[in-house]
Amino acid sequence: MPTANAPFVPPGSGWPEDPASPDTPVAHGAGEVVELAGSSPDLDELCARQSVCRACERLVEWREQVAVRRRRAFADEEYWGRPVAGWGDPEPHIMIVGLAPAAHGGNRTGRIFTGDRSGDWLFASLHRVGLAALPTSVRAGDGQRLIGARMAATVRCAPPDNKPTPLERTTCLPWLAREVAAVAASVRCIVCLGGFAWQGVWPALRQAGYGLPRPRPKFGHGAEVELAPPSGHARRDPVLLLGSYHPSQQNTFTGRVTEEMLDAVFVRARDYE
Ligand code: SF4
């Protein structure tokens, strides 16, 4: 008999690091994402609301389908099957932004960049430069912790073929914009992993009140742009936007991204004052 796999982990049912409870309000469309992101009283509640969102029909269907079918290697594991919320230090100096969770990575473990090859590379690098407590990030509740850093995705649900549609990006934007605004007081550097994250973070930064140069500078590994911090924050010095090639399997296999290249980006981010 096949196992009746659950399409998602019920909020507040005991999954380690689950930010939500059964009472967390659920967004069912783009308008409700705007409303619930804007009215979140704090970062914890914002992340809780992100983690139960059902605004994008196609992505909800896909993430839950993946959670039910599962990959053979993880057939005995329960899948998260929900959006993957921002995670890390609530007062970070560094904000790391990726595109979207992986179907069998974040969508399985419930934590961003956790349980896939890209995450293995990323966390090993963060640990080498002192931004992560452990060299690996395997599952929620494994003891991993970011040190002065936070991570979020521009789209919080795993998309088919890793390709969210423009509408899905726009629908998810208020979650990121609100999170970027909530941590802006402490952030000195924003690292974008890959060109899609570089593009995706731009409107979120604008909504969060950052002063952005025009035209938008080109993405590249080590690309740097200085941004004016949002008015009203104590920081007057520029905030650094830093580009990094994504540590995807394709990039790391081909040598387009090496350990040294990734470490150099995070050392630059760590040391930027
Ligand atoms: S991608 Fe974003 S807006 Fe769409 S369902 Fe997931 S969390 Fe909600």
Pocket test for ligand 1, best of 26, 32, 33, 173 (most atoms within 8 A of CB): 33
Look at ligand 1, atom 4, and give the residue with the nearest C-alpha: 56
Q: Is residue 53 in contact with ligand 1, taking CB distance under 6 Å?
A: yes
Q: Is position 53 within any domain?
A: no
CATH number of the domain encompassing residue 196: 3.40.470.10
Q: Evaluate whether residue 129 is within a structural domain.
A: yes
Confidence at residue 1, expressed as pLDDT on a 0 to 100 scale: 40
> What single-letter amino acid sits at 33?
V
* Whole-angstrom distance, CA of residue 211 vs CA of residue 115: 35
Ligand 1 atom closest to the Cα of residue 100 is 1
Ligand 1 center–CA 50 separation, angstroms: 7
Specify if 23 maps to a domain.
no
Look up the domain containing 182 and give its range. Answer: 86-271
Q: Is the CB of 125 under 6 A from ligand 1?
A: no
In a domain, 72, yes or no: no
Is the distance from CB of 156 to CB of 173 less than 8 angstroms? no
Ligand 1 within 6 A of CB of 55? yes
Tokens of 229: 């911090």
- Probe target for ligand 1 pocket from 36, 82, 168, with the most ligand atoms within 8 Å of CB: 168
Compute φ and ψ for 17, nearest 5 degrees. 65, 10
Backbone dihedral angles phi then psi of residue 150, each to the nearest 5 degrees = -145, 150
pLDDT of residue 3: 53
**How many independent structural domains does the chain possess?**
1
Among the listed residues 78, 48, 84, 49, the one whose alpha carbon sits nearest the alpha carbon of residue 66: 78
Beta strand 149-153 pairing with 94-98: parallel
Nearest atom, ligand 1, residue 30 CA: 3
172 lines ligand 1 (CB under 6 A): yes
Q: What tokens were used for 118?
A: 């890209």
Residues 90 and 189 sit within 8 Å (Cβ to Cβ): no
CA distance 186 to 95: 10
Nearest atom in ligand 1 to 159's CA: 1
Residue at 11 is within a domain:
no
- Asked if residue 21 is part of any domain, the answer here is no
Q: How far apart are CA 147 and CA 133, in angstroms?
A: 7
pLDDT string in tens for the chain (273-residue length): 445 789 999 999 999 999 999 999 999 999 999 999 999 999 999 999 999 999 999 999 999 999 999 999 998 999 999 999 999 999 999 999 999 999 999 999 999 999 999 999 999 999 999 999 999 999 999 999 999 999 999 999 999 999 999 999 999 999 999 999 999 999 999 999 999 999 999 999 999 999 999 998 999 999 999 999 998 888 889 999 999 999 999 999 999 999 999 999 999 999 998
For atom 2 of ligand 1, which residue has the closest CA? Answer: 172
27 close to 53: Cβ distance less than 8 angstroms: yes
DSSP secondary structure letter of residue 228: B
The answer as to whether 232 is a domain residue is: yes
Closest CA to 111 of 133, 79, 76: 79
Would you say residue 252 lies in a domain? yes
Beta strands, E only, the chain: 87-88, 94-98, 149-153, 189-193, 224-227, 239-244
pLDDT of residue 2: 45
Question: How far apart are the CA of 170 and the centre of ligand 1, in A?
Answer: 10
